[in-house]
Chains A and B, each alone.
Chain A
Amino acid sequence: MYSFEYERPKGISEAVGAVGEDDKFLAGGQSFLPTLKLRLAQVDKLVDLGSIAELKGITVSGNEVSIGAMTTHATVASSADVKSSIPALAHLAAHIGDAQVRNRGTIGGSIANNDPAADYPSALVALGATVHTNNRTIAAEDFFVDLFETALEEGELITKVTFPIAEKAGYAKFPNPASRFALVGVFVAKTASGVRVAVTGAGPSVFRQGDMEAALDSNFSPDAVKGIKTDASGLNSDIHASAEYRAHLISVMASRAVAAAS
């Protein structure tokens, strides 16, 4: 690890003011700290968001669940509000990494990193969530741009994510046996504006599977998507799984997500 300055502000505007060109916000640090330790990244200053109370917490109002950027996966997983309004989201959070990761890792940190195998992006895209930052709101589909790339500008800070409550939603994940990241994860949501199917792990960034959405719009059942194939070209291929296997798993996981939807 290279040396760096460290700051721990108490408020959002203070945090935004503290971060300069070669600085980074620090959320749960579950991806970024190992990167620093391996000297794969270097910063002048880390602005730790851990003391900013207004970035934490979950509220439900009307037909929307709002989750503060610094809310940990464990908090989301065990939240009675999330479990009753969007059980699939609590289920997803409960299966991120391991207990240590869930106790430190946050929703804001996860989506800002946009790891292609992270779980949360699929939930945001399928549920049609909105990402709130210190100066604007971004629709989930516009937020996730590409591999480890988001719509965030330099120094822009995620404050919360709001999720419309779906009629039904389900998440099924095929974990990478080693890392337990999603080799393929499929989030299916039946919303007022139709069914949305979002796939993580399989491509460079989260994407929607339109054929499956159309099929589920007319018949929301596991069998409706089982036979629908995804084109393997452009999907990830690595030592854990070929693109063809990932394409196949999308159908299997989509079917299981529909079966699990509640």
Chain B
Amino acid sequence: MILSAFVAIAPEHKLRVIAPDVGGGFGSKIFVYAEETTTIWAAKRVGRPIKWTADRSEAFLTDAHGRDHATHAEMAFDADGHILGFRVSTKANMGAYLSTFASAVPTYLYATLLNGQYKMPCIYAEVMAGFTNTTPVDAYRGAGRPEATYVVERMMERAARDMNMDPTELRMKNFISPDAYPYETPVIMTYDSGDYPLTMNTAKKMIDYDGFQARKAESASRGKLRGIGSAAYIEACGIAPSAAVGSLGAGVGLWESAEVRFNPTGSVTVFTGSHSHGQGHETTFAQLIADKLGVPFDQVEVVHGDTTKVPFGMGTYGSRSLAVGGSAIVKAADKIVEKAKKIAAHLMEASADDIEHSHGVFSIAGTDKQMTIGEIAFAAYVPHNYPEDLEPGLAENAFYDPLNFTFPAGTHIAEVEIDPDTGIVDIVDWAAADDFGNIINPMIVEGQVHGGVAQGIGQALLEGVVYDDTSGQLLTGSYMDYCMPRADDLPSFKVEATNTPCPSNPLGVKGCGEAGAIAAPAALMNAITDALGKEIDMPATPEKVWQAAQSA
């Protein structure tokens, strides 16, 4: 749509995009890249198909980078430790060219989350976005929310240290209370639901927070520095009500759409606009249909990633697929149920009002007469005995535009042991207590948390784009120099979920894709700060940590 409407590269009905089984996105594949536009333009120009492939070296140079803020922050407290105000001034690098979401990241997705999980009477945020000579900077897993969480949560731990309080107690004192929802913050957002004391207490228990001092002493006896650090994060996901983003200047609506099509023999094909690139939509969306319509799980096929097959979609990002795309599927399934009731009523000679539905079984209230959705689907496609005023077939589509953002939140606690001789940070324990609202597939959710935390750890410890001071040349142009987290950099994660259902979508879900990446950098840097007794900036490379440990 962007290519047609804004770049005028090809009429929309002549443009077909096929993108099956893409390996991961994490933000960088959202954007319209000059290479894509150029390839289409060139193909039209020469009248031949053109293939364009970027290799890894090229991707390092041209794929949008993420997270480049310099921030000055001040937080005011009363004598009891209650927050009085928060003032933040941020300079955000846009790179040399403005990418698709670029300026939205440090503004709408950042400043609006500076309230964290707390009662903050007033917040002042000033963001200056600037052009530099770097690769464009745009959304990356979490987009703006990791940066907001980082500022808020580093400030909370710093404040606790300055006031000689336990950082978790300071947070507890300032949390929005679980009965205060909907809760309007001073920075636009209306939080939907949550229980922040519960997630924090859950995480503390998981990591045996109270036993930390004994573990620290044991580490010290081996010459090691042990630290513990938390991050109580919040994010705005399920992006987003179209009216809300429109009022903020977005050029598009942010709904999703779906078609649920029963085949004559009772299997189901779900067409979704939410592309799956490793998130397991095929599984989660099939579960939605299996649960709601009683169709065996393996009789549900989920189709995505081909613009001639699927209805419109606005994209998989901002942890929105289930909350927005899944809700569209549910809405379409609701329409199926309504139509099926009419068919069942006709076939069983009853009034549609008397038909009850549960998991694909339609029965006449108060009787033992019933039909299954499979029988009804067959009748809909072989309508020999069928209501006169009803269209044949059993396929429905729906568009869903959310009422509000969703607000996943939780607490992650990291525990580290630092070798002062080398500066190596060993992550010895990790507890993640997350509230994602209702959960459809726990294993997929846990996997998302693992992956998110791994990326957050990468950001905090290992990853960093470096340009040459004088030539501007990218120095971290390959994996020889750009350090990705690997399995042996990571601990085993302890992951638990609490649940306050989301009130603004029919599934009660909040989204889980970015949480780990949002929570992890702040939690890990707080733990490192606790161990060293002083602050350093990300990435906490061995040399930086070693230098800090020397003067600690």
Contacts of A174 in B (CB 8 A): 422, 542
For window 528-544 of B, CB contacts with A under 8 Å fall at 541-543
Contact yes or no, B481 A177, CB < 8 A: no
Report the nearest B residue to A246, measured CB to CB: B543
Q: How far is the CA of A252 from the CA of B421 in the complex (A)?
A: 7
In this complex, what residue of B is CB-closest to A98? B486
Partner of A178, one of B480, B546, B547: B480
Distance between Cα atoms of A10 and B532 in the complex (Å) = 59
Q: Are B475 and A239 in contact (CB under 8 A)?
A: yes
Q: A178 contacts B466, CB within 8 Å?
A: no
**A177 touching B546, Cβ below 8 Å:** no
Binding site for B on A (CB under 8 A): 38, 174, 177-179, 239-242, 245, 248-249, 252
Quick check: A177 and B542 within 8 Å, CB to CB? yes
B462 at the interface (CB under 8 A from A): yes
- Apart from A178-B482, A179-B481, A249-B422: 10 A-B pairs, beta carbons within 8 A: A38-B57, A174-B542, A177-B541, A178-B481, A179-B480, A241-B542, A242-B543, A245-B543, A248-B546, A252-B421
Report how far A252 CA is from B483 CA in the complex, Å: 23
Nearest CB to that of A181 among chain B residues? B480
Contacts of B52 in A (CB 8 A): none
Q: Is B284 part of the contact surface with A, judged by Cβ < 8 Å?
A: no
Q: Give chain B residues whose Cβ lies under 8 Å from the Cβ of A245.
A: 542-543, 546-547
Interface size of B by Cβ–Cβ distance < 8 Å? Answer: 19
Determine the residue in chain A with the shortest Cβ distance to B421.
Answer: A252
Is the C-beta of B479 less than 8 angstroms from some C-beta in chain A? yes
Which residues of the other chain, B, contact A239 by a CB distance below 8 angstroms?
466, 475-476, 481
19 example contacts (A-B, Cβ-Cβ < 8 A) are as follows: A174-B422, A177-B462, A177-B483, A177-B489, A177-B541, A177-B542, A178-B479, A178-B480, A178-B482, A178-B483, A179-B479, A239-B475, A240-B543, A242-B543, A245-B542, A245-B547, A248-B546, A252-B421, A252-B422
Distance, CA A178 to CA B481, complexed state (A): 6
Interface set, chain B 114-144, CB cutoff 8 A to A: none
What is the CA–CA distance of A174 and B421 in the complex, to the nearest angstrom? 12
Provide the residues of chain A in CB contact with B57, threshold 8 Å. Answer: 38
Q: Which partner residue on chain B sits nearest A253 by CB separation?
A: B422
A167 vs B546: C-alpha distance when bound (angstroms):
34
Interface residues in B452-476 (C-beta closer than 8 Å to A): 462, 466, 475-476
Contact string, B419-439, partner A, CB cutoff 8 A, digits 1/0? 001100000000000000000
The distance from the CB of A238 to the nearest CB of chain B, in whole angstroms, is: 8
Which 5 pairs of residues, A with B, have the shortest CB-CB distance?
A: A178-B483, A179-B480, A245-B543, A177-B483, A252-B421
Taking the closest CB of chain B, its distance from the CB of A245, in whole angstroms, is: 4
- The minimal Cβ–Cβ distance linking A178 to chain B, given in whole angstroms, is 4
Q: For the complex, what is the distance from the CA of A240 to the CA of B539, rounded to whole Å?
A: 12
B489: chain A residues within 8 A (beta carbon)? 177
For the complex formed, measure the closest distance between the CB of B169 and the CB atoms of chain A, giving whole angstroms: 35
Closest to B480 in A: A179
Instruction: Give Cα A252–Cα B476 distance, bound, in whole angstroms.
Output: 27
Given contacts A245-B543, A245-B546, A248-B546, contact A240 B481 (CB under 8 A): yes
Contacts of B422 in A (CB 8 A): 174, 249, 252
Tell me the smallest distance from the CB of B394 to a CB of chain A, in Å. 52
CA distance A249 to B462 in the complex (A): 19
A245 to B475, CA, bound (A): 20
CB distance from A37 to the nearest CB of B (A): 9
Q: Of residues 69 to 127 in B, which have CB atoms within 8 Å of A's CB atoms?
A: none
Residue of A nearest to B489 (CB): A177
Q: How far is the CB of A230 from chain B (nearest CB, A)?
A: 15
Chain B residues lying within 8 Å of A241, measured Cβ to Cβ, are: 542-543
Shortest CB-to-CB span from B508 to chain A, Å, is: 42
Residue of B466, B482, B543, B546 contacting most chain A CB atoms (<10 Å): B543
Complex CA–CA separation, A252 to B482 (angstroms): 25
Q: Tell me, in angstroms, the Cα distance from A31 to B444 when the chains sit together.
A: 39
List residues of chain A with CB within 8 A of the CB of B546.
Answer: 245, 248
Closest to B481 in A: A178
The chain A residue sitting closest to B462, CB to CB, is A177
Contacts of A38 in B (CB 8 A): 57
Give bound CA distance, A59 to B57, whole Å: 42
Q: B475: which A residues are within 8 A, CB to CB?
A: 239
* Bound form: Cα–Cα A174–B424 in Å: 10
Complex CA gap A242/B543 in Å reads 8
A179 to B478, CA, bound (A): 9
| Residues on B with beta carbons closer than 8 Å to the beta carbon of A240 | 481, 541, 543
* Alpha-carbon distance A239/B463, docked complex (angstroms): 12
Closest chain-A Cβ to B426's Cβ sits at a distance in Å of 13
- A248→B422 CA distance, assembly (Å): 9
Q: With a CB–CB cut-off of 8 A, which chain A residues contact B482?
A: 178
Please name all residues of chain A whose beta carbon is closer than 8 Å to the beta carbon of B483 when the two chains form the complex. Answer: 177-178
Closest-CB distance, B268 to chain A (whole angstroms) = 43
Q: Which residues of B contact A179 (CB under 8 A)?
A: 479-481
Q: Least Cβ distance of B129 to chain A in Å?
A: 26
Closest to B547 in A: A245
What residue of chain A has the Cβ atom nearest to residue B546's Cβ?
A: A245
Nearest residue (CB) in B for A177 is B483
- Measured CB to CB, the closest approach of chain B to A47, in angstroms, equals 27
The distance in angstroms between the C-alpha atoms of A248 and B549, with both chains bound, is 13
Q: How far is the CB of B209 from chain A (nearest CB, A)?
A: 29
Closest to A178 in B: B483
Cα–Cα, bound, A249→B543 (Å) = 10
In the assembly, what is the distance between CA of A81 and CA of B318, in Å?
56
Give bound CA distance, A239 to B477, whole Å. Answer: 12
Which of B482, B489, B542 gathers the greatest number of chain A CB atoms within 10 Å?
Answer: B542
The smallest beta-carbon distance between A179 and chain B, in angstroms, is 4
Within 8 A of A (CB), among B493-552: 541-543, 546-547
Taking CB as reference atom, which chain A residue is nearest B544? A245
Q: Which residues of B contact A248 (CB under 8 A)?
A: 546
User: How distant is the Cα of A241 from the Cα of B481 in the complex, in angstroms?
Assistant: 12
CA distance A238 to B355 in the complex (A): 74
Which residues of the other chain, A, contact B484 by a CB distance below 8 angstroms? 178
How far apart are B225's CB and chain A's nearest CB, in angstroms? Answer: 15
* Nearest CB in chain A to that of B484: its residue: A178
B482 closest partner in A (C-beta):
A178
Once the chains are docked, how many angstroms separate the CA of A239 from the CA of B489? 20
Write out the residue numbers on chain A whose beta carbons fall within 8 Å of the beta carbon of B476.
239
Alpha-carbon distance A174/B419, docked complex (angstroms) = 13
CA distance A241 to B547 in the complex (A): 11
* Residues of B with C-beta under 8 A to A178: 462, 479-484
Q: Quick one: closest A residue to B543, CB to CB?
A: A245
A173 to B441, CA, bound (A): 43
**Contact residues in A for B479 (Cβ distance below 8 Å):** 178-179
State A252–B479 Cα separation when bound (angstroms).
Answer: 26
Q: How far is the CA of A144 from the CA of B228 in the complex (A)?
A: 46
